[in-house]
Structure 1
Amino acid sequence: MPSDTPLHIEVAYTEPGKQRLLAFQVASGTTARQAVLQSALPTEFPHVDFAAAPIGIFGKKVKDSTPLRAGDRVEVYRALLIDPKENRRRKAAAKQKKEAT
């Protein structure tokens, strides 16, 4: 593929109650992080540090420098607010308490 052919990609980000999936073109050789920063996400979600947020492609975490391929979906991940194990413990304890009453 010639290096000047634009790549059609998507960039996705979600928050509780709001999600965005942006489809656009980037230059061949664009990295995953560059695509996120070139998207409209930093403008739509100014409170998020898109320069440092973890990213992935189709559910698999990747390095910032990962070059994109046509059709890739770059996903921006948020930090977990609570440890999943702790959350399961709390739910189990609440269920046991409810069943005991």
Structure 2
Amino acid sequence: MADADAGAAPAPMQVEVAFSPAPRQVDRVTLQLAPGATAAQALAASGLAARHAALGAVGEGGLAFGIGGRAVAPDTPMQPGDRLDICRALKVDPKEARRLRYRAQGERGRQRVSGSRSR
């Protein structure tokens, strides 16, 4: 007797695509994709590019793909349960942003309270 599942198409995998168009805003879409779908195909299937004009420039304007906190190429195959992050370019280097906050804090934040250190 032949196996009934031998001719069946492989089950779709569930993945999530996330994009943050601005600080503290996240647009997430959960998808069912065919096994072996790439990161670029997941983005296309998500519909996020239609909702956010900035996504038209993935790879060109500083936008990048990431899975599990690591940068990946658009042709990277997705795995079941993956979350594809579409990352915006940094506007300010994080080290420089910290320096700017420190300078803006001024002397009021840098003064040590007397008695805070034992002698």
* Normalised TM-score (structure 2): 0.72
Letter in 2 for 1:61: A
| Separation (CA, whole Å) in 2 of partners of 1:17 and 1:43 | 20
Q: Residue in 2 aligned with 1:75?
A: 85
Question: Between Structure 1 and Structure 2, how many residues are aligned?
Answer: 99
| Separation (CA, whole Å) in 1 of partners of 2:87 and 2:53 | 15
Larger radius of gyration: 2
Q: Residue in 1 aligned with 2:34?
A: 27
Higher RCO, 1 vs 2 (CA within 8 Å, ≥6 residues apart) = 1
Matched, 1:63 2:69: no
Runs of 5+ consecutive residues of structure 1 not aligned to the other structure: none
Letter in 2 for 1:91: R
C-alpha change, 1:82 and 1:6, in structure 2 (3 Å) is same
After superposition, the CA RMSD in angstroms is 2.0
The alpha-carbon deviation at position 42 of structure 1 amounts to 0.6
Letter in 1 for 2:25: K
Identity %: 33
Runs of 5+ consecutive residues of structure 2 not aligned to the other structure: 1-7, 111-119
